[in-house]
Amino acid sequence: MSVLPGNKTIILVLGLAALSACSSEPEVEQDAGSTLAAHLATAEGMIDAFYSFDPEQLQPYLSQAGDSQGRLLGYQAWAEGGNYIVLERTPCAPQEGGTIACPVKVQDDPVQALQTGFDVTDTFHLTFEDGIITSVRTSSNDQAIYGQARRWVAANLPEVMEGPCRREDSARVTPQDCARAMTAGYAEYKENLDTAEAMIDAFYSFDPAHLRPFLSEAGDSERRLLGYQAWAEGGNYLVLERTPCAVEEEGTIACPVTVQDDPVQALQTGFDVTDTFHLTFEDRVITNVSTSSNDQPIYFQAQRWVEANRPEVMEGPCRREDGARVTPQDCARAMTEGYAAFKTALDAGDVTLEEPESKESAFIPDEFQPPVLAVAEGFQLVPLGPELVDLDYEAYMASIEHLQQTFSRSGG
CA distance 354 to 357: 9
Nearest residue to 253 via CA among 263, 262, 243? 243
- Name the pLDDT band for 393 (thresholds 50, 70, 90): low
- Name the pLDDT band for 1 (thresholds 50, 70, 90): very low
Confirm whether pTM is higher than 0.75: yes
Q: What is the pLDDT of residues 74-111, one digit of tens each?
A: 999 999 999 999 999 999 999 998 999 999 999 999 99
Sheet strands (E) in 175-215: none
C-alpha of 226 from chain center = 31
pLDDT at 289: 97
Q: Which CATH number fits domain 36-188+393-405: 3.90.1150.10, 3.40.109.10, 3.10.450.50, 3.30.450.20?
A: 3.10.450.50
Burial group, residue 308, by CB count within 10 angstroms (0-12, 13-18, 19+): exposed
- Contact residues for 142 (Cβ-Cβ < 8 A; gap 6+): 111, 120
Least confident piece of the model among 18-22, 30-34, 71-75, 239-243: 18-22
Residue boundaries of the structural domains of the chain: 36-188+393-405, 206-377
Higher pLDDT, 20 or 256: 256
